[in-house]
Amino acid sequence: MLTRLKTATAPLMIVAAALAGTGPAPASAQEPMQLAQLTGTIPLEGNVGPVCSISVVALPAASALNLTGGVTRVQVGTVTQNCNRTTGYTLTVTSANCALPDGARVARAAPATDYLEFSVEFDNPATGGSTDVTDLLDTACANQVGRTVAGVQVFAEQSQVYLNYTGSALLAAGTYQDTLTVTMTVN
Amino acid sequence: MINRSAHKRWLMIGVTATLIVGAIVAISQFPDCEVCQAANDILLQGTVAQNCTIDVTAAAAASNLPLTTAGAQRVQVGAVQQSCNKKVGYTLAVTSATCATAPAGAKVADSVSGEFLAYSGEFANPTTGGSQASVTGLLATTCTGQVGRDVTSAKIVGESSTVFVNFTGDAGLAAGTYQDTLTITMNVK
C-alpha cells in the first residue's frame, strides 16, 4: 500500500511544478499563451495609359482675311486639348509658307514673291503654367511653341489662335494662302 | 518477566502506535482525498501542436486593374488558402498600405501624379465555423480592425477565401501606374 502511494506522487508533483512554471510545461498549459500570426500580401496595380488629343477648328475668318486693311488681329481658329499625362505637353505651330527672314506669310501661288507677313498668337488658359504667347513665326519657322503645360492634366481646354499682320493696299490682286499646322507634343 | 496478559497488552499498544504513525505519515504526504483517488490513476497524455497557416495567392487581375473602365468594377485579386487545427478558431484581417493616407480608406495611388482611386475589399468565404459567406466594404473608410473572415469552433483544412476589390472606374484619371498592397493576417484565437 505504501509503495502504491509513493508511486502515485510522481505525476502529482510534475503537474504542480508545471503550474508553478518551474518545470517542463505540457502543451495544454502552454498553448493559450501562443498567438500565431501569419500574413500574406496581394500587390494591386492598375495602369492608365496616356490619352492626349487636340482638335483644331478653323474659323470662317481664316478664309476671309482682310489683307488690305492695316493693323489687323483676327482669330482664325481654336485648339481644343485633352491630356491625362500630368507631365504635360506643348503645342507648336508651323506655317507652310514660312521662310526666313520674314517668317510666316500668306502668299499667292504665282508669283510667290507676292505675300504678306504675319505672326501667330496663342491665347491660352492659365492651367499648368500656361501664358499667352505672341509673335510666333514672326522671325523663325521652327520650335514655335504656342502653349506649354506642365504638371497637370488638361480636360477640354481651348486655346484661341490669332493672326497679327499689317494689311497692305498695295498687294496685287489674287488669292493669298498659307496653312498653319498645330502639333501637340506630350512630355 | 512479563506475563502473557501483559505481553498481549504491550503488543496491542505497539500495533496501535504503528497504525497511528502510519496514518500521520499518510495524511502528511496526501492531505486531501483527491490525491488518494489519483493514486490509483495512470495519467496518459499526448500533445498535438498548433498548426495554422495561410497561403495568399495574387490573381493576375490584381496587377491589371481596369481603373478607367466606366461603372462599378468587382475584380478578384487573390485567394487565401487556410488551414488551422485549433478549434477555437481564427480571424483573417486585411490592411492596405495606402489606407492611412488622407483621405482614409484603401486606394490605389500614382506616386507621380498624386492621383488615386478609392476601393473597398471583399472576402467571399466558406461558411465553416460560422463564417459569413460574404464580407464587403472592407477598408472603405476604416484602416484597422478589418476582418474578412471569422472562424469559431471549427477545424479548417484547406479552405479558400476569395478576395475581391470593388471600385468605380474613372476615365479622368491621370496617366500613370496606380498601386497598393493588401496584407492579410491570420490571428489564431
Domain residue extents for chain B: 4-38, 52-188
Chain A nearest-CA residue for B47: A27
Asked if the structure places residue A81 within a domain, the reply is yes
Question: Do A96 and A142 belong together in one domain?
Answer: yes
Chain B nearest-CA residue for A6: B39
Range of the domain at A110: 52-63+71-165+177-186
Asked if the structure places residue A171 within a domain, the reply is no
Q: B10-35 pLDDT, tens per residue?
A: 545 554 444 444 444 444 454 555 55
Taking each helix axis from N to C terminus, what angle separates B4-29 and A2-19, rounded to the nearest 10 degrees?
A: 20
pTM recorded for the entire structure: 0.70
Q: Which candidate from B30, B108, B185 shows the least CB-CB separation from A44?
A: B108
- A134 or A26: whose pLDDT is higher? A134
Chain B nearest-CA residue for A153: B174
Question: Do A101 and A182 belong together in one domain?
Answer: yes
Is residue B134 scored above 80 in pLDDT? yes
List the single best residue of A1, A4, A44, A157 to mutate versus B (max B Cβ within 10 A): A44
Question: Do A19 and A59 belong together in one domain?
Answer: no
DSSP B126-147: --GGG--SEEEEETSS--SS-E
The total number of structural domains that make up chain A: 2
Using alpha carbons, select from B113, B101, B171, B173 the residue that is nearest to residue B139: B101
The Cα-based distances of B40 to A11, B22, B26, B33, B46 in angstroms read 11, 19, 15, 12, 20
Question: Do A17 and A58 belong together in one domain?
Answer: no
Asked if B181 and A155 come within 8 Å (Cβ–Cβ), the reply is: no
Question: Do A6 and A57 belong together in one domain?
Answer: no
Question: Do A19 and A76 belong together in one domain?
Answer: no
Residue A44, helix vs strand vs coil: strand
Collect all residues of chain B within an 8 Å Cβ-Cβ radius of residue A32.
none
Question: Do A18 and A100 belong together in one domain?
Answer: no
Q: B138-187 pLDDT, tens per residue?
A: 999 999 999 999 999 999 999 999 999 999 999 999 999 999 999 999 99
Asked if B56 and A26 come within 8 Å (Cβ–Cβ), the reply is: no
Interface pTM, i.e. ipTM: 0.76
Q: Yes or no: is domain B52-188 CATH 2.60.40?
A: yes
CATH number at residue A77: 2.60.40
Asked if the structure places residue A37 within a domain, the reply is no
Q: Which residues of A touch chain B, with CB atoms under 8 Å apart? A: 2, 4-5, 7-9, 11-12, 26-28, 31, 34-51, 84-87, 153, 155
Asked if the structure places residue A144 within a domain, the reply is yes
